[in-house]
Structure 1
Amino acid sequence: MMYYLLAINLVCFFIFGIDKRKAKMHQRRISENTLLALALFGGSVGGIFGIFIFRHKISKKSFLLRFCAVLVIQMVLVYFF
């Protein structure tokens, strides 16, 4: 389980970085649903670091609200399990 969480968080972090790079280069982007799915399946810590380190999706309020919803869902699941 620990290796899975480490791997998914690293993948999520790097995907945020890749998407930021693609945005700067005006290339085809990674969908927000993919970014949120990676966070939902355990990569939320990597996503948080990706958001702040790459300064990616910070000004997009709708994405941040959905990302926060993913965090709340994870907290509820951790609490009950």
Structure 2
Amino acid sequence: MKRHIPILVCGILPLVGLYKLSANIDWQFILGYWLFISVTTFVSYWQDKRRAQKGLWRIPEKSLHSFELLGGWPAAYLAQQLFRHKTSKRSFRIAFWCIVGFYQFLALEWITDWRVSRWLISLV
């Protein structure tokens, strides 16, 4: 359980951001989209693992990362842990955690009304 704490903590800011977003967009749409991308991501990891075990054509890593980037990163983490898939390839893990970090930044910016981005733009 202790090793899963970082990913649980990484879910806090995006959840707060989604709560704030629900003031502008119907929460049912947000939930529906999140469920769709999560199931798609999870199934893609499952299929890729099965294909790897059978020596068949694999789902490209950029497709898996695209699903993560579209919001399926929590489902990707769950699939990685359940299927023991893509957990040892360092370059894949780095890209995954960069996507998680991007979501942290994006959520923080949304919550703080783009304060950091405006500050960075003012420096230029």
TM-score (norm 1): 0.97
| Counterpart residue type for residue 34 of structure 1 | S
Partner of 2:106: 77
Q: Does 1:41 align with 2:75?
A: no
Partner of 1:60: 89
CA positional deviation for 1:56: 0.3
CA positional deviation for 1:2: 1.1
Structure 2 gap ranges (5+): 1-29, 111-124
CA shift digits 1:16-49 (9 cap, x unpaired) = 0000000000001000000000000000011001
Partner of 1:9: 38
Residue number among 14, 19, 28 corresponding to 2:57 in the alignment: 28
Question: CA–CA distance in 2 between the matches of 1:64 and 1:54?
Answer: 15
Question: CA–CA distance in 2 between the matches of 1:38 and 1:68?
Answer: 14
Structure 1 gap ranges (5+): none
Question: CA–CA distance in 2 between the matches of 1:67 and 1:36?
Answer: 7
Percent identity of equivalent pairs: 31
Pairwise CA RMSD: 0.6
Aligned residues: 81
Task: Provide runs of 4+ in structure 1 moved above 2 Å.
Answer: none
CA shift digits 1:52-78 (9 cap, x unpaired) = 001001110110000000000011111
TM-score (norm 2): 0.64
